[in-house]
Structure 1
Amino acid sequence: MMSIILFDGECNLCNQSVVFVIKKDTENHFRFASRQSKIGNQLLDQYKIDKNIDSIIVIDNDTVYLESDAILHICKYIKRWRILFIFSIFPKLIRDVFYKGFAKNRYKWFGKKEQCMIPTPEIKKRFLE
């Protein structure tokens, strides 16, 4: 079964995170779409996700994971990063305070693109169109 990661295609950090996950996801568990893409918007509508949410989004078996839950869900499938799933013992409310603070400042700290990234041919097959 595959999971879909919806990411902010204009965010430098988000784009680099997608590249990182692609390199580390040796089992090809994840597929990707920017939230700004046609398929990204369709998935947001289909799962009734607020288009203004400031979060990475993971959809797995019709379950939607947001904010820190999304990050931990990704870590669960990445070798050597699975250990970070231990942070799920902390209440979501506490984890999300840190997540939201980071998300709020990501453009300031990492910059913003004028357009979504264009995947290289070797990783393009991992993106939904």
Structure 2
Amino acid sequence: MIDLRAHDVRSFLPAQDFALSKAFYAALGCTLEWSDEDLALFHLGGARFYLQRYYVNEWADNCMLHISVQDAAQCFADVSQLIGTGRFPGARVSAPKQEPYGACVTYVWDPSGVLLHLAQWDRA
């Protein structure tokens, strides 16, 4: 077995409208750590991810990010209010749903179609 000694894994997310997507993730509470014209590094909790000025519809429609949260219902309310402002065309949210694998999940689609799973895990 190869020992990579990995200490960090970061995903790359597509952005159809880079500025709009950067603003969306910032509004969700992600901290922008660094950015240039084509790439942005965000920090959320103990993790980081890249947002890039690159978009392929098939990729965006199949790209997902799972985020463990404390309260999926509160996330639904907060994201619904954010999307309701009209600032983020294309973004949408669905009500929390109990999934068979043990999490209550609020699904959020970013302005590019990337699916975020805001998952509250059962405490049992």
TM-score range, shorter chain: 0.3 to 0.5
Q: TM-score, normalised by structure 1?
A: 0.32
Structure possessing the higher relative contact order (Cα contacts under 8 Å, 6 or more residues apart): 1
Give the structure with the larger strand fraction. 2
Give the structure with the larger helix fraction. 1
